């Protein structure tokens, strides 16, 4: 044992996004039960290359007693990783809590995109062009610290809406950062709490909620408005209701709460 610098992960802050794992060239980190963990002191060189990739600020470097960094052990470890079979498609750690051979689920890793310039054949009134500017889009997967949320025009969308609105990309998605969820199948209390944190951290310029006309879809608007009011931020919020035929039925502006006025 020797006293040296080594990374430390705050599991309370870690949201299991897996970005630190891909940043660690030594393969010292792995997702275990949905949290990034240091699997061996001997694999960690203590340089902290993973720090800048953590959107939650869950990683730090401390000096403590630890086994010496072993470069040969790292080489063997990385060689074994390459030989491990790829996990089956359904074994995604974001849904099962299990980690793959390279740690992290590709479907939840943060990416910022450029709206596609690839023209395709128009379908109905659709523009034939993707306006999606980031990944992931599922509310359950997006970190409040995600750079694409900061000071953004935010779109909170029920997941059935893009199937009903023929010009969804040009009408709603263009120029906005999107969060998608299903108010019927997911936990609305979690939605409200996470949206409150997102609003407080990211402080969006505007929030547009788009929901379907069916009664079970009202929950996503309710959770968003409650989160907006609880956060105390000052921005414009609109709630759009869309019919199952794709028509815009209603646009409402919810009232400002006392907390927002304080």
Give the pLDDT confidence of 1-15 residue by residue, as tens digits: 889 999 999 988 888
Residues 155 and 73 in one domain: no
Using the predicted structure, report yes or no on whether residue 25 has a pLDDT greater than 50: yes
Residues 130 and 40 in one domain: no
For residues 180-196, average pLDDT: 90
Residues 133 and 97 in one domain: no
Residues 76 and 125 in one domain: no
Residues 10 and 22 in one domain: yes
Residues 131 and 164 in one domain: yes
pTM exceeds 0.75: no
Residues 121 and 45 in one domain: no
Cβ–Cβ under 8 Å, residues 191 and 198: no
Residues 125 and 43 in one domain: no
What phi and psi values does residue 8 have, to the nearest 5 degrees? -130, 135
Cβ–Cβ under 8 Å, residues 96 and 87: no
Q: Which of 64, 81, 106 is the endpoint of a domain?
A: 106
Confidence (pLDDT) at 225: 95
Residues 123 and 250 in one domain: yes
Distance CA 135, CA 108 (A): 8
Q: Does residue 119 or residue 25 have the better pLDDT? A: 25
Strands 206-212 and 153-158: parallel
Tokens of 37: 């963990």
Residues 138 and 248 in one domain: yes
Of 31-45, 57-71, 114-128, 195-209, least confident by mean pLDDT is: 114-128
Phi-psi region of 231 (alpha: psi -120 to 50; beta: other; left: phi over 0): alpha
For residues 191-211, average pLDDT: 95
Q: Which residues contact 126 (CB under 8 A, 6 or more apart)?
A: 166, 167, 168, 169, 170
DSSP 138: B
Residues 194 and 124 in one domain: yes
Q: Which residues contact 20 (CB under 8 A, 6 or more apart)?
A: 9, 29, 36, 50, 53, 54, 59
Q: Which of 106, 121, 144 is the endpoint of a domain?
A: 106
Q: Which of 83, 106, 129 is the endpoint of a domain?
A: 106
Q: CB 41: neighbour CB atoms within 10 A?
A: 20
**Tokens 């072993």 found at:** 70
Q: Work out how many domains the chain is built from and give that number.
A: 2
Confidence (pLDDT) at 83: 59
Average model confidence (pLDDT) across the chain = 83
Rounded to a whole number, what is the largest CA-CA distance in the chain?
Answer: 68
pLDDT digits (tens, 9 = 90+) for 109-166: 667 776 654 444 443 334 467 899 999 999 988 888 889 999 999 999 999 999 999 9
What phi and psi values does residue 122 have, to the nearest 5 degrees? -65, 140
Four-residue CA torsion sign, 15, 16, 17, 20 = positive
Helix, strand, coil shares, percent, the chain, to 5: 30, 25, 45
User: Can you give the CATH number for the domain in which 46 is found?
Assistant: 3.30.70.20
Cβ–Cβ under 8 Å, residues 175 and 203: no
Using the predicted structure, report yes or no on whether residue 231 has a pLDDT greater than 50: yes
DSSP 169: I
Distance CA 186, CA 191 (A): 8
Residue range of the domain that includes 50 = 2-106
Confidence (pLDDT) at 260: 58
Q: Respond yes or no on whether the N-terminal peptide bond of residue 98 is cis (omega within 30° of 0).
A: no
Q: CB 145: neighbour CB atoms within 10 A?
A: 19
Residues 172 and 136 in one domain: yes
Q: Does residue 33 or residue 87 have the better pLDDT? A: 33
Cβ–Cβ under 8 Å, residues 203 and 233: yes
């Amino acid at each position: 044992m020797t006293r040296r610098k080594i990374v430390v992960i705050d599991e309370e802050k870690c949201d299991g996004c897996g970005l630190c794992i891909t940043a660690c060239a030594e393969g010292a980190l792995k997702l275990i039960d949905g949290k990034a963990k240091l699997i061996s002191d001997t694999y960690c060189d203590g340089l902290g290359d993973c720090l800048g990739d953590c959107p939650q600020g869950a990683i730090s470097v401390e000096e403590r007693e630890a086994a010496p960094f072993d470069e040969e052990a790292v080489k063997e470890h990385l060689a074994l990783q390459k030989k491990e079979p790829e996990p089956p498609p359904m074994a995604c750690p974001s849904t099962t809590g299990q980690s793959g051979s390279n740690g992290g689920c590709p479907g939840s890793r943060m990416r910022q995109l450029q709206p596609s310039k690839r023209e395709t054949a128009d379908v109905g009134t659709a523009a034939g062009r993707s306006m999606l500017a980031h990944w992931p889009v599922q509310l359950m997967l997006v970190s409040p610290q995600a750079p694409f949320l900061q000071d953004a025009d935010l779109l909170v969308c029920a997941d059935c809406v893009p199937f009903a609105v023929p010009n969804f990309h040009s009408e709603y998605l263009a120029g906005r950062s999107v969060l998608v969820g299903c108010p019927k199948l997911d936990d609305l209390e979690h939605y409200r709490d996470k949206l409150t944190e997102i609003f407080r951290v990211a402080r969006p310029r505007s929030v547009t909620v788009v929901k379907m006309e069916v009664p079970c879809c009202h929950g996503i608007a309710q959770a968003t408005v409650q989160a907006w009011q609880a956060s105390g931020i000052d921005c414009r919020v609109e709630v759009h209701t869309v019919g199952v035929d794709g028509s815009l039925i209603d646009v409402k502006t919810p009232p400002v709460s006392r907390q927002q006025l304080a």
